[in-house]
C-alpha cells in the first residue's frame, strides 16, 4: 500500500497544501504592505502585485477576490506587524508610564528600522484615502483613533498610578505625543536621517519629564 | 474705418485674448488644486481635469503640455493661495513673536476655512508622492522645508528681539509647532470638527507662553 493512499498521508498532504497556501498568502501580503507604502494603496492592484510577487493574476485572484479585499487584507497584515513591533512589546511594561514611553520608543524604532519602505504604513495609507469614503478608509481611521486612544489610556493609567500629575488632559497629551511621532515619520520619509526622530524624542521626553511625579 | 482694424483695437483684442487665457488658466488651476486634495496629484490627469472644468482635453493641452507640467502649475497655484492666506498676512506683524503667532493662526485658519476640500494641499500632495523621485516631489519637499524654516526664522528673530528666551533651539521649537499643525490638519480631514485645531492651538500657545519673555 503506497503511503500516498493512506488516510493519514492524505491528511498530511492536506495540511501541507493548507500550510503552503497560508505561507504563500502571508508572503504575498507582506509584499503588498511594502508596495502600498511606495506606490500607494490605490496602486495595489492585483496586476501590479502579481508582477511584484512573480505570480499569475489568476493565482492572486484565488487568494483575494478583489482589489478591495486585497487592500483590507494588506491593512490586516500591517496591523499585525505594528502590534508585533510597537504595541505588544509595550504591553508587558511594569507601569503605565513605562508603557507610554515604550509605545513612543516602539513607534520611533519601527520607523528607524524601515519596517516599510515608505515609512509608517498607516500614515501613508490614510493620507491617500482620507477623502475616499468606504471600508478601507474606515478601517484606517479606526486604527489610528485606537492608537491615539491607547496613548491617552496609558496617560490616564499613569495618572491613576500617580506617576503623571492629575491636572494633565490625557487626550491633549496624547495629541501632542502623536503630533511629534506623526511629523517625525513624514520628515524621515523624505530626509532619511535620524534627525526628525531625535527631535520627536526630545519633544516627548521633555514634555513627559516635566509632568512626571516620580 | 472700422474700430476692428485700427492698431489700437488690435492691441486691445490681443490684451483681451491674453486676459481671457490667463483668467481661464487661473480658474483651471484653482480647480486643479482642489481636485488634487481629493483624488490625489496623480489623479490630476489632463482627462480627469477636463471633465472637472468642462473643457476639451485638447483645450487643456494648449494650457499645459503634459501631466507633469499641470502638476507643477497646480503646486505653484497652491503656493500662491498659501502665501495669500498664511504667510503674507503674517509678514506685516510688528514683532517676530507676533509673526510666529500669526503664522500659526494663519495655518489653522487656512485649514478651518476648507481652503482645499482635502485639507492642506502640501501635506496631502507630499504624502502621495514622497516615494516618487522627480521635480514634483522635489518642489513639495522644498516648499515644506521653507515653511518650517520660516517658523524657525521667526523664533530666531524673536530671540534676537528678546521676546523668546535664548536657550530654546529654534529648529527644535519649529519642529514642535509644525508637528501640532501637521497632525491637526490630518485629523481635521477625517473628523471635520474643530477639536484637533483647538488641540494644536492649546499645545502651541502653552509652549510659546512658557518661553515668552514678555
What CATH number does residue B97 fall under?
1.10.357.10
Provide the shortest C-alpha distance from residue B125 to chain A (in Å): 9
Residue B152 pLDDT grade (very low, low, confident, very high; cuts 50, 70, 90): very high
Q: How far apart are CA B171 and CA A162, in angstroms?
A: 33
Supply the pLDDT for residue B57: 87
pLDDT at site A56 = 87
Task: Report the pLDDT value the prediction gives residue A175, as an integer from 0 to 100.
Answer: 98
Q: What is residue A57's predicted lDDT score, i.e. its pLDDT?
A: 87
Measured in whole angstroms, the distance separating CA A125 from the mean position of its chain's CA atoms is 11
Q: Does A45 lie at the interface with B, CB-CB under 8 angstroms? A: no
Residue A160: predicted pLDDT: 98
Total number of domains in chain B: 1
Across the interface, do B183 and A182 touch by the CB < 8 Å criterion?
Answer: yes
Is a pLDDT exceeding 60 seen at residue A113? Answer: yes
Residue B2 clears pLDDT 90, i.e. is over it: no
pLDDT in tens, A29-39: 999 999 999 98
Rg (CA), chain B: 21
Mean pLDDT confidence for A98-116: 98
What is the Cα–Cα distance from A173 to A71, expressed in whole angstroms?
A: 32
Backbone angles phi, psi at B14, to 5 degrees: -60, -45
Among A44, A76, A43, A81, residue whose Cα is nearest residue A60:
A44
| Domain span including residue B182 | 3-211
Q: Is the pLDDT of residue B17 over 70?
A: no
pLDDT for B1 equals: 42
Q: Give the pLDDT confidence score for residue A124 in this predicted structure.
A: 95
Given a cut of 80, whether residue A208 has pLDDT beyond it is: yes
pLDDT of residue A126: 95
What is the arithmetic mean of pLDDT over B200-211? 97
Model pLDDT, residue A4: 46
Q: Is the pLDDT of residue A5 over 60?
A: no
Contact A200/B179 with Cβ under 8 angstroms? Answer: yes
Chain B interface includes A149 (CB < 8 A):
no
Is residue B73 packed enough to be buried (19+ CB in 10 Å), middle (13-18) or exposed (0-12)?
Answer: middle
pLDDT score for A71: 95
CB contact under 8 A, B117 and A131: yes
How much is the pLDDT for B60?
85
Give the A window 173-192 contacts with B, CB below 8 Å.
175-176, 178-180, 182-184, 186, 189-190
Q: Please report, for chain B, how many H helices and E strands are present, in that order.
A: 10, 0
* d(CA B44, nearest CA chain A) in Å: 14
Average pLDDT over residues A127-135: 94
Q: For chain B, what percent of residues have pLDDT higher than 90? A: 74
Q: Do the Cβ atoms of B179 and A175 come within 8 Å?
A: no
d(CA A1, CA B211): 86
Q: Is the distance from CB of A42 to CB of A128 less than 8 angstroms? A: yes
Q: Sort B64 into a burial class: Cβ within 10 Å, 0-12 / 13-18 / 19+.
A: buried
Could you tell me what percent of chain B has a pLDDT over 70?
A: 89
| Long-range interactions of A108-113: CB distance < 8 A, separation 24+ | A108/A181, A108/A184, A108/A197, A108/A200, A108/A201, A109/A85, A110/A82, A110/A85, A110/A86, A111/A184, A111/A185, A111/A188, A111/A197, A112/A188, A112/A194, A112/A197, A113/A85
Name the minimum distance, in Å, from the CA of B53 to any CA of chain A. Answer: 20
d(CA B25, CA B64) in angstroms, rounded, equals 9
Flag whether pLDDT at A19 surpasses 60. Answer: no
CA-CA distance, A143 to A90, in Å (whole number)?
A: 17
Q: What is the mean pLDDT of residues A2-27?
A: 62
Label residue B11 by pLDDT band (50, 70, 90).
low
If you write DSSP's letter for every residue of A149-173 in order, what string do you get?
HHHHHHHHHHHHHTSB-TTS-HHHH
User: pLDDT-derived band of residue B145, with 50, 70 and 90 as boundaries?
Assistant: very high
Q: What is the pLDDT of residue B59?
A: 85
Per-residue pLDDT, averaged over B198-204, amounts to 98
Nearest chain A residue to B197 by CA distance is A175
Q: Model confidence at B14, in pLDDT bands (50, 70, 90)? A: low
What's the mean per-residue pLDDT of chain A? 91
Amino acid at each position: 500500500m503506497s503511503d500516498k493512499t493512506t488516510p493519514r498521508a492524505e491528511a498530511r498532504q492536506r495540511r501541507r497544501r493548507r500550510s503552503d497556501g497560508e505561507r504563500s498568502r502571508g508572503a504575498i501580503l507582506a509584499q503588498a504592505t511594502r508596495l502600498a507604502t511606495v506606490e500607494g494603496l490605490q496602486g495595489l492592484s492585483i496586476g501590479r502585485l502579481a508582477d511584484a510577487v512573480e505570480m499569475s493574476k489568476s493565482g492572486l485572484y484565488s487568494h483575494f477576490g478583489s482589489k478591495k479585499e486585497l487592500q483590507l487584507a494588506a491593512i490586516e497584515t500591517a496591523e499585525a506587524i505594528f502590534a508585533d513591533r510597537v504595541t505588544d512589546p509595550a504591553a508587558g511594561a511594569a507601569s503605565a508610564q513605562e508603557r507610554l514611553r515604550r509605545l513612543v520608543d516602539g513607534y520611533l524604532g519601527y520607523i528607524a528600522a524601515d519596517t516599510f519602505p515608505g515609512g509608517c504604513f498607516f500614515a501613508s495609507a490614510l493620507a491617500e484615502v482620507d477623502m475616499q469614503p468606504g471600508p478601507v478608509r474606515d478601517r484606517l481611521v479606526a486604527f489610528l483613533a485606537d492608537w491615539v486612544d491607547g496613548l491617552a489610556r496609558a496617560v490616564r493609567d499613569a495618572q491613576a498610578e500617580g506617576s503623571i500629575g492629575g491636572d494633565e488632559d490625557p487626550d491633549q497629551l496624547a495629541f501632542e505625543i502623536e503630533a511629534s511621532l506623526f511629523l517625525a515619520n513624514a520628515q524621515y520619509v523624505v530626509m532619511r536621517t535620524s534627525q526628525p526622530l531625535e527631535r520627536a524624542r526630545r519633544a516627548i521626553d521633555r514634555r513627559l519629564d516635566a509632568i512626571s511625579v516620580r
